[in-house]
Amino acid sequence: MLIEARGVHKTYRTQDGEVETLKPLDFAIRAGEFVSVVGPSGCGKSTLMKMVAGLLPASGGELSLSGRSVRGPQTNVGIVFQNALLLPWRRVIDNILLQAEIRGMPMAAARERAQQLVDMAGLAGFEKKYPWQLSGGMQQRVAILRALLHDPPVLLMDEPFGALDAMTREKMNLELQRIWMAAGKTVLLITHSIPEAIFLSDRVFVMTERPGRIDAVYDIDLPRPRSLDVMGSERFAALARSLRSHFFAKGSLDAH
Ligand code: ADP
Ligand code: MG
């Protein structure tokens, strides 16, 4: 298993006392799998992702990546946050190459790879632009490319398309599916969009309100590659209904 959690839980210790955020979680994600996590705002999704990335210690349990226990920041993952987090004073290509600089990768090879990624993502011609000269969707693509530069086997994405308009978001979903299918990555995607989760995933984990735990796991057996048309299918609608039913009792998913 590529990502494995056994009894992983989290309680934040704050000045006002302890905040139990995640109940013990058990799950295993195999290499090449695309898994999404949906759940209400504040249920601990970002906390979970930071723990998998090794950016935040678990309060207990065992978390492993490629068979190795996660202790401290992981170098073999790519991370994409909700906002693109590009450096405004650096050009597109230099934002992508930041990854290489931080890791001390050989620059000539990194440049070549960055250019390949730019071409793949349809950003050719924009290498020398600054982030503010790009649309939100393009900025987000740059952030994804930066996460892919060192060719990590695992991509961790925390609501990466939250700030995008619906149409750009659908394009990004297609793009992400393409990258995932072409590059054979394992993806853990956090999203508050049920259609996005169903469209992209092999499996969807549904979490409860804080303290979060995994309430259900759905196998998404839609054939691949998936076109946006699949969203109109009976099977897709049935899956969406089932997933939504988890949130009816407590109101809908928060789109913060
Ligand atoms: P989500 O990503 O699902 O919205 P988070 O993982 O960001 O949820 O947060 C889960 C809960 O943990 C929230 O109630 C939040 O207030 C709390 N929390 C998150 N980070 C911290 C922190 N550094 N210190 C204390 N509490 C935190
Ligand atoms: Mg979050």
Q: Report the nearest atom of ligand 1 relative to the CA of 39.
A: 3
Over 50: is that where the pLDDT of 143 sits? yes
pLDDT in tens, 87-118: 999 999 999 999 999 999 999 999 999 999 89
pLDDT in tens, 58-88: 999 999 999 999 999 998 899 998 887 899 9
Ligand 1 pocket: which of 9, 13, 15, 19 to mutate (most atoms <8 Å of CB)?
19
Give dist(CA 138, CA 42) in Å, integer.
28
The pLDDT of residue 237 is 97
Give dist(CA 154, CA 148) in Å, integer.
9
The Cβ-side half-sphere exposure at 138, using a 13 Å CA radius, reads: 18
Q: Report the nearest atom of ligand 1 relative to the CA of 256.
A: 4
Residues with CB under 6 A from ligand 1: 12, 14, 19, 21, 39, 41-47, 210
pLDDT in tens, 156-213: 999 998 878 888 888 889 988 988 988 789 999 999 899 999 999 999 999 999 999 9
The pLDDT of residue 255 is 46
The model's pTM is 0.91
Task: Note whether 14 and 123 are within 8 A (CB).
Answer: no
The pLDDT of residue 171 is 83
Of the candidates 100, 255, 77, the residue with the CA atom closest to the CA atom of residue 165:
255
Residues 6+ apart with CB under 8 A from 97: 107, 110, 111, 114, 149
Nearest CA residue ID for atom 15, ligand 1: 42
Strand order, beta sheet including 203-207 = 77-80, 154-158, 186-190, 34-38, 203-207, 214-219
The pLDDT of residue 239 is 97
Over 70: is that where the pLDDT of 254 sits? no
Percent of all residues in the chain with a pLDDT value above 90, rounded to a whole number = 79
Between 237 and 171, whose confidence is greater? Answer: 237
Residues with Cβ within 5 Å of ion ligand 2? Answer: 45-46
Average pLDDT, the chain: 92
The pLDDT of residue 136 is 86
The Cβ-side half-sphere exposure at 198, using a 13 Å CA radius, reads: 22
Confidence of residue 256 (pLDDT cuts 50, 70, 90): very low
Percent of all residues in the chain with a pLDDT value above 70, rounded to a whole number = 97
Task: Note whether 141 and 175 are within 8 A (CB).
Answer: yes
Confidence of residue 137 (pLDDT cuts 50, 70, 90): confident
The pLDDT of residue 167 is 83
